[in-house]
Amino acid sequence: MHAVPPEPDMVQLLTPEGVRVEHPDYPLEITDEQIQSLYRDLVLVRRVDTEAIALQRQGELGLWASLLGQEGAQVGAGRALRAHDMAFPTYREHGVAWCRDVDPLVLLGLFRGTNLGGWDPADNNFNLYTIVIGAQTLHAAGYAMGVVRDGAVGTGDPNRDTAVLAFFGDGASSQGDVNESFVWSAAENLPVVYFCQNNQWAISAPVSTQSRVPIYHRADGFGFPGVRIDGNDVLASLAVTGKALDQARAGLGPTLIEAFTYRMNPHTTSDDPTRYRLAAETETWKLKDPIARVRAYLTRHADVGQDFFDAIDRESEQLAEHVRAGCRALPDPDPLSAFDHVHVELTDELREQRDAFAAYLDSFEEVPA
């Protein structure tokens, strides 16, 4: 097994110690107020994650896929999007959902088992979570084909030109669908930005199981640029994704971004990482925390006072209460709703099954309490 060698040219704009650094290819003009706003996103997204894990432990959710450690990658990418751009998430992009103004409660139905997703992608230009690994990258390419056919690329009109942001992970990089999506985007010069969160682990398989080269090098073989960023640096994610999206909208084609990050928590609440990785590895990554470095920057270099952090803590408490109460209030689905939306119009044979099931359910006598 070969470890993937560390990349000296990983784009980083904010060090783990909270020091702003410049990168010649990715100048980022950003105010301290904007960095404060990113800090708020990061904290609140982490809070949603923390609450969801707790809800799973209390039996309120069947499962949760934690994003702990990946907040910087996701918030940077999510905030680089324009309203009319389209995002295609996996099932872990809670931070991107947040940036798209999707209420966290909307995400919980899938994990509580009250629905299968159920939101309208057009509401926030945020597609449904996709559980089959990598499948959504082809949907992103197809959506981008539609964008091209709609004449919404390379017009120079910022309100019209549209990019598509496709998320996937290091495990998905092995999937045929991801590679086919690369082929499509390259061949048709599609306005797609591929955002791979390399969080080092596909459940129990280290990234070396998937790739012998750094994942961003894969782009070379397909004929478009690839770049690796410090995935725990929200500013690097924002700057690099922003530039790639600009290029896509301008008709300059796809980019692959590899956000080098770490899945701090188990794959999902059902996973046990003590069977396959060392706690010491996780401890090392704690030193690169995506939130601590922003807080350090704001405290030491932006003169942001305690009031700001206190206000965010209060907002975080309110959000947590919203998530807890809202989750418990999610209604259980009606048994007959399983027959809804199988087709646009219920077929006769499915109506027969539904009606027979309804009659069966009705045949039970009410037991007096």
Partner 1 sequence: MTTLTMAKALNEGLRKALDDDPKVIIMGEDVGKLGGVFRITDGLQKDFGEARVFDTPLAESGIIGTAVGLAIRGYRPVCEIQFDGFVFPGFDQIVNQVAKMHNRSAGKIRMPITIRIPFGGGIGAVEHHSESPEAYFAHTAGLKVVSCSNPSDAYWMIQQSIRSDDPVVFFEPKRRYWAKGELNDEPYPLHKARVVRPGREATVAAYGPMVATALEAADADGHDLEVIDLRSISPLDTATVIESVERTGRLVVVHEASVSHGVGAELAARVQERAFYSLEAPVLRVGGFDTPYPASRLEEEWLPTVDRILDAVDRTLEY
Q: Under the criterion CB under 8 A, does residue 259 sit at the interface with partner 1?
A: no
Q: Which of 287, 350, 358, 361 binds partner 1 (CB under 8 A)?
A: 350
Q: Under the criterion CB under 8 A, does residue 44 sit at the interface with partner 1?
A: no
Total chain residues near partner 1 (CB under 8 A): 44
CB nearer to partner 1: give 29 or 345. 345
> Cβ distance 322 to 105 under 8 Å?
yes
Can you tell me the distance from the alpha carbon of 220 to that of 29, in angstroms, rounded to the nearest whole number? Answer: 29
Would you give the distance in Å from CA 222 to the centre of its chain?
24
Q: In Å, what is the CA distance from 315 to each residue of 98, 104, 203, 319, 322?
A: 14, 14, 33, 6, 10
Q: Which of 347, 355, 358, 361 binds partner 1 (CB under 8 A)?
A: 347
Handedness of CA 239, 125, 260, 227 (dihedral sign): negative
Q: Under the criterion CB under 8 A, does residue 194 sit at the interface with partner 1?
A: no
N-terminal to C-terminal alpha carbon distance within the chain: 63
Contact letters for partner 1, residues 157-176 (x by CB under 8 A): -------------------x
Q: Which of 344, 359, 367, 369 binds partner 1 (CB under 8 A)?
A: 344
**Minimum CB–partner distance for residue 184 and partner 1 (Å):** 6
Considering only residues 78 to 137 of the shown chain, the ones binding partner 1 according to CB under 8 A are: 88, 115-122, 127-128, 130, 132, 135, 137
Q: Under the criterion CB under 8 A, does residue 340 sit at the interface with partner 1?
A: yes
**Minimum CB–partner distance for residue 296 and partner 1 (Å):** 41
Q: Under the criterion CB under 8 A, does residue 366 sit at the interface with partner 1?
A: no
Residue with tokens 């999510």: 78
CB nearer to partner 1: give 16 or 117. 117
> Cβ distance 264 to 71 under 8 Å?
no
3-class secondary structure per residue, 288-317: CCHHHHHHHHHHHHCCCCHHHHHHHHHHHH
Of the candidates 148, 160, 174, the one whose C-alpha atom is nearest the C-alpha of residue 253 is 148
Q: Which of 27, 101, 146, 311 binds partner 1 (CB under 8 A)?
A: 146
Q: Under the criterion CB under 8 A, does residue 282 sit at the interface with partner 1?
A: no
Q: Which residues pair with 258 in a beta bridge?
A: 196, 228
Can you tell me the distance from the alpha carbon of 361 to that of 369, in angstroms, rounded to the nearest whole number? Answer: 19
Q: Which of 203, 311, 336, 342 binds partner 1 (CB under 8 A)?
A: 342
Q: Which of 17, 101, 150, 313 binds partner 1 (CB under 8 A)?
A: 150
The footprint of partner 1 (CB under 8 A) covers 88, 115-122, 127-128, 130, 132, 135, 137-147, 149-150, 176-177, 180-181, 183-184, 187, 340-345, 347-350
